[in-house]
Amino acid sequence: MAELALEPRPFFTGRGPHDPGLAVFLNAGDPGPPEVFAALLLALDDAGVDCVELAVPFPDSVTDGPVIRRSARRALDNGADLAATLRLLAQVRPRMRHTAVALLADWRHTVAPLGPPEFLLRARDSGADAVLVHGAPPRARPRCLEAADRIGQPMVTTCYARSEPAVLEEAARTASAYLYLVAHYGRTGAAAVQPASLGPVLTRLRKLTDAPLAVGFGVRGAADIAALGRQGADAAVVGTALVARLEQAVLAGEDPVVEARACVADLLISTSDTSNGRKP
């Protein structure tokens, strides 16, 4: 596959003070078929989403709750393997005017079988603005980061709010796209985010990196996003809340693309002035 000639796209920039950006998580291929999912990505771009964390589906994720796990199973049943995900990305990413795409892939299921250099090269050449490797063992992380640096592929690093100081420092030092701060231990969708508790760790991380700080796990609505902005987050990541609405729309025989637009509009309403929501 020839490398796509795309300009690098910044993450979560251009917002006002305490006005965090929005990232959303989706499993590639859910909802399907491919033309519906492509229309969904373009609708999210048009609606003003800053980043889509686009997962290469894999089964039985230990970090995901039932909503995301059902989504991954539907995507796999729709044939959304790595090759199909990269084809979709290569077709749609050049048509997206605003939204960046962070390709999320599981170490064991997707990255390790190919090896980090080959996987990262394929991701870059398909148009990924960043890569997030899920579940990489500590010994593998340096290899991933070195391979990414050699080809100029920005990387998302992760840590938990209660990670040890050395883990926080490593995540901050090595983030070249953005740092994903996981708000709490457990599975996606299991508990609501508590923004006030995250202020100290966001302050600490801000002193360690210039990379944007995105918070996920338990972000359910506009009030959460606004509160995270007040605590110093550059962005919020919404996964289960969006995927659940898309699932419900499909089950009800409704258009998931229309539902996605409605969900994003709800998430981007300013809680300080509901008459002046953010516009793309």
- Which residues are tagged catalytic? 53, 64
Report how far Cα 212 is from the mean position of its chain's Cα atoms: 13
Task: Count other Cβ atoms within 10 Å, centred on residue 47.
Answer: 21
* Nearest to 162, CA basis, from 201, 135, 209, 216: 201
Residue keyed to tokens 């599981």: 106
Integer distance in angstroms from the first to the last C-alpha of the chain? 32
Distance CA 57, CA 72 (A): 5
Strand order in the sheet with 51-55: 130-134, 100-106, 51-55, 21-27, 235-238, 213-216, 178-182, 156-160
Cβ atoms of 139 and 152 within 8 Å: the answer is no
